[in-house]
Each structure stands twice: as C-alpha cells, then as structure tokens.
Homo-oligomer: A and B are copies of this chain.
Amino acid sequence: MGMARLSDLIENFIKELMEEAGKHYVEIQRNELANVFNCAPSQINYVLETRFTIDKGYIIESKRGGGGYIKIYKASVSNNWINQVIENVGDSISESKAKYYIDALLDHNFITAREASLMKAVMNDKILPFSQEEKNALRAILLKAFLMEVARHK
C-alpha cells in the first residue's frame, strides 16, 4: 500500500481549496500551510515548483515581508480555441506567425486592437538581442504567457 507522499497531499489540498472556492486562484501563507502539514516551509516551495508550474497551467505570484502571501492562479484553459493555439505555438515561433495568431485573437474578439498592438510590440524581432533560434524560443514563451492570460480573463 503506497504511503501517499506529503507533496501529493499538499498538492491536492491546494487544488481542493481552489475548487471549493470556485475560483481560479487561491491565496495561501507559506508558514501557515506548512503548519497545517507540519512540514518545513520550503516544502511548500517544492510543491509549487514541481506541481504548479507554467507548463501545467499555473502561475505563482508572491510577496515577502509583513503581510506577505503566495497566490496561485490557474490559467483556465477551458477555452478550446486558445488551448489549441497554445499547442500550435509549441516551443518556437517566428515573428510573422506570432503576429498572425495575435490577429486571430483580435478577429475572435478575445482581445482589443490596443491589446494586440501591445502584444506585437514585444514580438518584434528587432528588439530582442538574441540569435534567431533564441528569439523564436523566447517569443513562444511570451506568446503563451499572453494566451494564458487572455484565457484566464475570459
């Protein structure tokens, strides 16, 4: 009988919190949560780093100091169309193709014209000081971050 790993318990706990709240995010306090599970605070970081990654559709935001917190957002990839685009983007994308997708977002009324301009501003090949391959890889990361954000705001 497999003794459940602590990390899995914490992972599930967080996911349940999110479902119960019916929200696409939760806010926790690291020490508090560590206390619930009676573990080292850094264990929480481990769980976040291994289970709530960008790849898995989560975004973490945190603040230190008094009144600090950790917020875990789930990019609600419920949207099929956007989901499909995210897959198509993959790990590398050219400037023109990226702009093509952004225009598609605009066509589908997922974003405004201004938002499209802002996105395109950082898709621009000329502003990135890297090799072509690196630019394409970076662009894919940025575009996916945008797409996830758009899906989240849906």
Contacts and interface: CB of A to CB of B under 8 A. Distances in A.
A118 B54 contact: no
Which DSSP category, helix, strand, loop or mixed, fits chain A's interface? helix
Interface in A57-114: 59-61, 66-67, 69, 114
A106 to B, nearest CB: 13
A142 B67 CA distance: 30
Contact of A126 (B8, B27, B59, B138): B59
Contact of A114 (B54, B60, B153): B153
A124 B8 CA distance: 26
Given A2-B69, A5-B67, A115-B115, A145 B129 contact: no
Nearest to A113: B153
**Copies of this chain:** 2
A4 interface: yes
| Interface size classification for chain A | 35 or more
Nearest to A142: B122
Given A2-B27, A27-B1, A59-B124, A117 B69 contact: no
Interface of A: 1-6, 8, 27, 53-54, 59-61, 66-67, 69, 114-115, 117-119, 121-122, 124, 126-129, 138, 141-142, 145-146, 148-150, 153
